[in-house]
Structure formats: C-alpha cells, structure tokens
Structure 1
Amino acid sequence: MSRERTRSKPAGLPIIHPFAAGIDIGSRFHVAAVSPDLCDEPVQTFQAFTSDLQRMADWLVATGTKTVVMESTGVYWVAAYEVLEARGLEVILANAREARAVPGRKSDVNDAQWLQRLHACGLLRASFRPGRAIAELRAYLRAREKHTDYAAAHIQHMQKALTFMNIQLHHVIASITGVTGMNIIRAIVAGERDPDKLAAMRDVRCKESLETIRGALVGNYQPEHLFALKQALALYDFYQRCIDECDAEIEHAVAALNIDRPMPEAPLPKAKHRSKMPNDPGFDVRQALYQLTGTDLTQIHGIGPFLALRLVGECGTDLSRWPTAKHFTSWLTLSPGCKISGGKVLSAHTRKTSNRVTVTLRLAAVTVGKSHTALGAFYRRLAARIGNAKAVTATARKIAVLFYNAMRFGMDYRDPGADYYEQQYRDRVIKQLHRRAAQFGFTLQHLDPIATGGVS
C-alpha cells in the first residue's frame, strides 16, 4: 500500500480583528462588507442619505461588527464617520495610499472586501483625527482662513481699480487696507474727488507728507472703475464681517476647552513682540492658549499667537498619539524618506503633502530664517551649504520638534541666540579638524589670535 502524501495548506494571514468591516465610500452610495462568518449577505450597498447611513450603522451593529475601516475619499466620508462613531463603533480612517488593491478587476464591492480583509488582518493604520471639541475649533479656523484668502483677493481688486484710475495710493502708504488707505477709499466711493480733502484723511502715523499723498490722489475717475472699486470694497467688508464672526466662534470654542483647565500658577511670560499682526483674532489668544496648553508656545521663535492656535487646532492638545518627536515629524513628512533596495539608498527625499501644519511650519521657517536667533543661524548656514529648499524643510522640522516637546512634555523654550549656535558650530569644526589631523599623525596647535592678527 502506498502512503498518500499529506500536503499542508499554506497558512493565511492571522485574523487580528474578526469583527471588522470595510466601507467603500462614494458620493452617491457606500458599499459595506463584513466577514462572511458574520452574515449570509456580507456585502450590502447603502445610499448616501442620512437615513441610509443610519440603516447601515444598524446593520453593522446587528452583525456584531466592532470596528469599521474606510478610505478618506474627499469629504464624503465625514457624514458616515460621524454616524458610525455615534453608534459606538470604532471607525478607522485609512490613507488611500496604504490601502491600494492588488492589480486586477476593480469595483466598489472588491474595494470594500479588500478593505475589510486588510483591516481584519491588522494591516491598516488609522489616520489622525482629533476629538469632537478640537474638530469644531479646527473647522472654525479653516473657515476663517478661507475668508482671509477671499478678502485678500478683493484687496487686489481694489488695487487694480485704483491703478486704472491712476491713483498711486499704494506708492505712498504701506498698505491700502490700513487706516489711511481705507479712509481714502471709502471717501472716494462715497463721492469725494478733491485731493486736498482726501489727503487730509491721512493718519498721524503715516510717514509720507500731505503733499506727497495729495499728488498721488489726482486721478482719472471713470465710472466703470469706480463701480469696480465700490464692489470690491463691499465684498472686502463682507468678508471682514465673516472673519469677525469666526473670531467669536473661535473664542467660544477655546473657552469651552478651558472650562475644566486651571490657569497655570506661573504668570504668562512677556511677549517677544508687542506689535499685533493684522490678521490676528480680536481676543487675547496668548492668554487662552496658555491656560489650554499650560505653556507659552509663542516663546518658540517663528510661532506667533495665531500660528500657535492653528497648530493646536490641527494637532490637538494631546500629542501622545505620536510616541516620539520622530513619529510626529514623519507624520508631517518633514523627515527624510526611506527608499532602500539591495542595501542602496534610492531616495531620501521627503514626500509631498498637503498637510496644513506642514505648510504653516514651512512659512514659519522662512520667517525665522531672517531673525538673529539660533534657528535663524541654523537656517542660514544650511541654506548656504545645501540650498534654501532643504534649509526650509530642516528648519520647519526643528520648529515641529520644539512644538512637540512643548506640548507633550511642557518644555520651556529659551533661545540661546545666534552667537551660541555659531560658537557650537565652530567648536564642532575644530573637533573634527583635530580628529582628522590625528589620523594622519599631525597635531593641531592653537595660535594666539592677537599675535596672528586675528587668525587662529
């Protein structure tokens, strides 16, 4: 008798989440898939209406589903996410880059089943989404940012209308949206044409003289250009009112977050800059954030009060979601990439991203690069060696690390100054020179700078 050879079946991936479901999000309908062991019909389609979303949540709960995964498809996932989260389900928002299906036939059903399979095996990571209170604050901040962009576009329209009328107001004042500029523009729209009366509206803080401003206000007032100026001013004022409404909601949202938070015993440190930026909110942002975070984030160079508020609105107050600062900077795509094959580094470029925090930190890095600080000296030295683009990324990463340490561990930042950084760099270079000289059997000697005319 011949013995039959027993063939062992290849073991599949272990199931980590047996009660997992996957949802393929669409604009008109969603396809939900659960494990075949939980239901006779493991794949079902639901419309995108609210009643259908609630029916989908009831079906998932009835099948015993504990956790649900979906891709971040546009903004269509938000409503489904909130409905499922309200039902007590653990909702995982996966990055589409990590959930790509294998090559072959593609359909909504296959995508839902593939997501369910990957999540059941524990192969998908959840994207960051803050809590409900921070999400509300973030929505107000993003709406305010859009209104600011729209208002800036209408400032350009006012400037264009003035240029058509040959009113060279922008050449004699710092900004047409300042006190002097807005007084003159409102008077022109109201019907005033006398350059003497218009120049008399000059604010006392304006540096230019009355004669110079009067010469710039002699223009060619054509009706079509006046009409364009009138509409641009009306739209600018409208968006300014929208920004004020957003500021009120932002203040209420921050106050709601501070209800159960006591004020730190140490007084709020002195502000680095007394001047207030034109686009800053109307309330005391530093005081509110100091109570919310327990530390003064504005002591970090490059981070002002409104920027600190935007960072908190995007990242939240609990940064323990990222175990280390390296995880945080990797999430921001500010750390070097890792693309290695065959022991050879193929690429170390940072990934492209649309993360709002990253964009904000890059702008802060450009600003701090012009300052006489340790971060500014770091930026300038890197820019001279490897270029401005990489210097911006490296400086933005340093600011992100400082922000993480301040939020996570309450670090009290004190800038050592540009001179301290330059001295550290000098000591590091001298140490390297001593080591290189010792490798070739030489010894470096320090000469007296005074005796050698300043050369050591």
Structure 2
Amino acid sequence: MARKPSKQRFTVVHPDCAAIDVGGREHFVAVDPRHENPVQSFTSFTDDLLKMANWLESLGIKVVAMESTGVYWIPIYEILSERGFDVYLVNARATRQITGRKSDVLDCQWIWQLMTHGLLRGAFRPDDLTCCVRSLVRQRASKVKDQAQTLNRMQKAMSQMNIQLANVISDISGVTGMKILRAICAGERDPVQLAELTDRRIKAGKEAVARSLHGNWRREHLHALTQELAAYDFLEQQIADCDDAIKAALEQLPLAGEIGTDLSRFPSSQHFCSWLGLAPPTRISGGHRLAGGGPKIVNRAAQALKQAASNARNDKGFIGASHRARLTRMDTSCAIKATAHQLARLVYNLLTKKQAYVEQGLEEFEARSQDRQVRALLRKARKLGYQLVAA
C-alpha cells in the first residue's frame, strides 16, 4: 500500500520582513498579508523613499530583501541601512518567477515569500568607506579606458594622413610622441623640425622620425587629431583628480582593498572563494559532475588575485613552488585559478582569524610533495596486492 505523502511546511525564518521589486521609476513593496494594504508602490524620488522607510518602520519590519537591479537599488539600500534595517541584496537568479506569471506586484510578493522562509541569501557589500574607495577606483579605470580610446583615434587620424610615427617610436603617448603631436596641432608641418623634438632615448634616429612624418596633412584629419588631443589632456586631468580623491579616501581606511576588512558575512573560506568565483563548480546530478562551468562571475578582487597568481611563477617561496607544480599537470588558466584560490584562503584567514602568512619555504614544499608521492605509491601497491618496503 502506497504511503501517504507527509505534509511538510516551510519554517518561517523572518516573520517581520518586506520585499521590494526595484525599478527605475517605481518600486513595489510587499509585506505580510496580515497588514492592511500589504503591497504598496513608491516612486524613485527621495521623499517617497523616506515615506517607504517610515511605512516599514511603522509595521515593525526588521528585514528587507530586494533585487540588485542596475544601480537603482543603491539609494534604497543606503536609506534603509541608515534607518537600521537588515537589508538583503539578493541575486536576480535566486528570485526567478514562474514562467508566464510576471508582474511587479507578483515579483515583490514572490520575493517576500522566499525571504519569509529564509530561502534567499544577501550579497556581500563592504563598509561605506571601502565602497567609496571602490567607486573612485572604478571611476578612474573608466577614465583610463576612455583615454586609451582617444589614443586609438589619434593613431587613426595620423594613419589617414599617412603619418607613420607609431612605426618608429613604441608609444605615441610618451614624451617624444606627445611633443610631436602638440607641435603638429600647433601648426608645425616641417618633418625635420618635428624630428628635432625626438628624445635622446629613442632608438630610431632623427632621420627615420623625419621620414615617418611626411604626410598629406588633410584638414579634416588634423581637426580630428586636435580634438582627440584636447580630449586626452582633459581626461589626464580627470585621472589626476581621481588620484587625489582616492588618496584622500585611503587616509580614512586602516586597510585598503576591494573587499574591506570585515568578512564576517562569509561563514568559511569556501563561501568566500565561491563569492570570488574561484571555487570549482558543484554542478552534480545523479552522482555525476555535469559538463560546463558555473555562472560567469566578474569580480575585481578575484582578478587581482589571479594577477598575483600569474606572477607567482617566478616566486622562490612555497606559493611559487606550488604554482609551478600546478603548471606541470594542468592548463595555465586552471593553474592560475587554483593558485588564486590558495591566495584567497590566505586572505580570508588573515582578515577573519588574524593569522599572519608564514613563509614555509621550498624545503617544506618538497617534503609535502614527497609525502604525497609516497602515499600514492602505497595506495597503488595495496590495490595491486603488493607491499611497499622502504629501501
């Protein structure tokens, strides 16, 4: 006789919670249906966001969950955090609605149901000072990228005039390149006079530089070159302003970094490495690992760790030896990711357990490697029915 299925109910983890469906113009907020008008909408204006916070406070709400939609969530997050709410910023992949049932009201109610039963996890967000430094660094990186594009457009304008300066000097943004470009924009057209601006460190002679500066000097290309040079100088000043702002922000931080100093949100180093995107995927079904990797994660802290790992090839310590050993048995990209994973665990222990890194040296690595080889030989000998005897 078939056994009747047991009626299992989800446990209520957050009884006093709210959920917000974030939008560009309007935000929909859902609370427990026992309250009057459990779903309300608020515009994205600041006064309405303050009304939202007041309404949630009047209902005794303690936990608020919302999707990380674009940048629209940032003002809500900051206002609610300042009011003392425990704000969960959740990934949109974890709150996907049933196909065919999609609306703002249903979305906020669905997020509320998930949050009530503790089925959502909040994303990691550092403290305010760290967030300030991160924003400034990303702004600077954006300006550097824009400046590189202006260099490409300057190079395009010179190529259209058949100015082959890039073929005789390695970097047109260097001292010689900038002097020549500024002289061209100022009206100088004589290749010999322009070649006199060559720095003594340039390997190509002045004669070769002069030959590269024979061009057609068409008006439209000169106009483009002049505008791009002005844009380059403007971005150079903006980058310097970003450097000053970053320096001022760093003076208020005990330890600078992309992640800050508080990693209490992560229960273990495994959770921290998973957030970085450095942990191996755990796509398993039917006891077998599924093909393909996990979701693509773009994390600046992970990128920095990977860069450090790629430079570990020439390191003379324990980490360098570990990285070189990985390179002998796996692809370069996999070895870099594995070494970055090792560095991430060290960072986690440093910030959470205050465990300083102690260099173990090449001798320790060789001893561990030999011990692993011995254990592997013992397992293989037992499997074949032999007994391994030390010489």
TM-score under structure 1 length normalisation: 0.75
Deviations 1:151-210 (Å, cap 9, x if unpaired)? 111111111122222222222223111112111111111122233332222223333333
Is 1:387–2:384 an aligned residue pair?
Answer: no
Amino acid at match of 1:206: I
- Structure 2 partner of 1:342: 286
**Mapping 1:18-417, distance limit 5 Å:** 18-37=15-34, 39-103=35-99, 105-257=101-253, 292-293=254-255, 312=257, 314-347=258-291, 349-366=293-310, 368=311, 371=314, 373=316, 379=323, 382-383=326-327, 385-408=329-352, 409=354, 411-412=356-357, 414=359, 416=361
| SS of the residue 1:167 aligns to | coil
- Contact 1:335–1:350 under 8 Å retained in 2: no
Change in CA separation of 1:50 and 1:378 when aligned onto 2, cut-off 3 Å: same
**Mapping 1:425-436, distance limit 5 Å:** 428-429=372-373, 432-433=376-377, 436=380
Question: What's the CA shift for 1:231?
Answer: 1.2
Amino acid at match of 1:40: E
For 1:168 and 1:403, locate their aligned partners in 2 and report how far apart those are by CA, in whole Å.
48
| SS of the residue 2:107 aligns to | helix
For 2:225 and 2:361, locate their aligned partners in 1 and report how far apart those are by CA, in whole Å.
49
| SS of the residue 1:320 aligns to | coil
Question: What's the CA shift for 1:362?
Answer: 3.8
Question: What's the CA shift for 1:372?
Answer: 5.3
Change in CA separation of 1:316 and 1:227 when aligned onto 2, cut-off 3 Å: same
- Structure 2 partner of 1:273: none
Change in CA separation of 1:424 and 1:219 when aligned onto 2, cut-off 3 Å: farther
| SS of the residue 1:321 aligns to | coil
- Contact 1:338–1:348 under 8 Å retained in 2: no
For 1:412 and 1:362, locate their aligned partners in 2 and report how far apart those are by CA, in whole Å.
18
- Contact 1:202–1:210 under 8 Å retained in 2: yes
| SS of the residue 2:60 aligns to | coil
Structure 2: tracts of 5 or more residues without a match: none
Question: What's the CA shift for 1:338?
Answer: 1.0
Q: Which is bigger in relative contact order (C-alpha 8 A, separation at least 6)?
A: 2
For 1:201 and 1:410, locate their aligned partners in 2 and report how far apart those are by CA, in whole Å.
55
Q: Percent identity among equivalent residues?
A: 42
For 1:392 and 1:16, locate their aligned partners in 2 and report how far apart those are by CA, in whole Å.
40
For 1:121 and 1:89, locate their aligned partners in 2 and report how far apart those are by CA, in whole Å.
18
Change in CA separation of 1:423 and 1:235 when aligned onto 2, cut-off 3 Å: farther
For 1:410 and 1:210, locate their aligned partners in 2 and report how far apart those are by CA, in whole Å.
58
- Structure 2 partner of 1:4: none
Change in CA separation of 1:411 and 1:174 when aligned onto 2, cut-off 3 Å: farther
For 1:415 and 1:316, locate their aligned partners in 2 and report how far apart those are by CA, in whole Å.
27
- Contact 2:192–2:210 under 8 Å retained in 1: yes
RMSD between aligned residues:
3.1
Change in CA separation of 1:157 and 1:66 when aligned onto 2, cut-off 3 Å: same
Amino acid at match of 1:411: A
Amino acid at match of 2:37: E
For 2:161 and 2:374, locate their aligned partners in 1 and report how far apart those are by CA, in whole Å.
63
- Contact 1:338–1:345 under 8 Å retained in 2: yes
Change in CA separation of 1:238 and 1:209 when aligned onto 2, cut-off 3 Å: same
- Contact 2:346–2:357 under 8 Å retained in 1: no
Amino acid at match of 2:75: A
- Contact 2:283–2:294 under 8 Å retained in 1: no
TM-score under structure 2 length normalisation: 0.87
Question: What's the CA shift for 1:392?
Answer: 3.4
Change in CA separation of 1:80 and 1:151 when aligned onto 2, cut-off 3 Å: same
Structure 1: tracts of 5 or more residues without a match: 1-6, 258-291, 294-308, 447-456
For 2:15 and 2:157, locate their aligned partners in 1 and report how far apart those are by CA, in whole Å.
65
For 2:180 and 2:364, locate their aligned partners in 1 and report how far apart those are by CA, in whole Å.
48
